[in-house]
Amino acid sequence: MSRNYITFDNTDLRDFGLYISGSNVFNAPERAYNEITIPGRNGTLLGSEKRLENIPVVYPSFIYTNFKVNCAGLRSFLLSKVGYKKLIDTYHPTEYRLGFYAGGLDAEMTSKLDAGQFDLTFNCKPQRFLLSGDTPVTLTASGTVNNPTLFDAQPLIRVYGTGDITVNGVTITISEADGYTDIDCEIMECYKGNALKNYAVSLDSVDFPVLSPGDNTIGFDGVTSAVITPRWWTL
């Protein structure tokens, strides 16, 4: 019988002899909301903040051999990582989370074998991202991109040339380009490499475009092509 395992920041934790079992890897995050009480009215109204809370993902973990050395190496590896990193487990082989090691490792070593067990906890963003959403979609003319999920995705759009690109009715105008311009709809910034290009990009909307569930219309006027990394996600 095969054992389940995880990779973190592109490192297979089996390198430290680590394997996992179930736990809450299938849990869903909570939605942030405000309850509003109105005097004289039964119940409460809900004011949604349109965001989801981070979720702790806990893996019951086991190291079967060379426990002391492997546990020390694992602890050092995890604590050396700063910020959110890609976390993949074999329960969801087509998806990944973005998380960071939350610290704490209360290991229990077996008395007779050079093995031990403990809970490994990661603080994760609420989404489970589809690996297929990291595959770029190239358009050389107006067309459509299909979102297979139930949630709006915030893509990274690399636009070549100057002119307009319209995504679901939101028009982005690029007035200056040195080859290409990256439009990051998640962080709402435009750049090339490490250089910000916000001054050369304008939108006819307050919000950056999203890719909604189903077909999304992409229109070109002047720009030569676009490479869209859709960033599909689910819960």
Report all structural domains of the chain as residue ranges with CATH numbers, in order of start.
6-126 (2.40.30.200), 131-234 (2.60.120.860)
- Kindly report the backbone phi and psi dihedral angles of residue 67, in degrees, each rounded to the nearest multiple of 5, phi listed first: -60, -50
**Residues comprising the chain, all counted:** 235
Token pair in block for residue 141: 């003319």
pLDDT for 32 equals 62
Provide mean pLDDT across the span 187-206. Answer: 95
For residues 218 and 166, give the distance between their C-alpha atoms in angstroms, rounded to a whole number.
6
Position 204 pLDDT exceeds 80 = yes
- Kindly report the backbone phi and psi dihedral angles of residue 45, in degrees, each rounded to the nearest multiple of 5, phi listed first: -95, 150
- Kindly report the backbone phi and psi dihedral angles of residue 15, in degrees, each rounded to the nearest multiple of 5, phi listed first: -60, -20
Token pair in block for residue 77: 């590896």
Secondary structure element (H or E) that encloses residue 69, with its range: helix 67-79
Question: Quick one: CA dihedral 5, 122, 183, 214, positive or negative?
Answer: positive
What is this structure's pTM? 0.86
Position 105 pLDDT exceeds 90 = no
Mean pLDDT for all residues in the chain: 90
Position 174 pLDDT exceeds 90 = yes
For residues 45 and 37, give the distance between their C-alpha atoms in angstroms, rounded to a whole number.
7
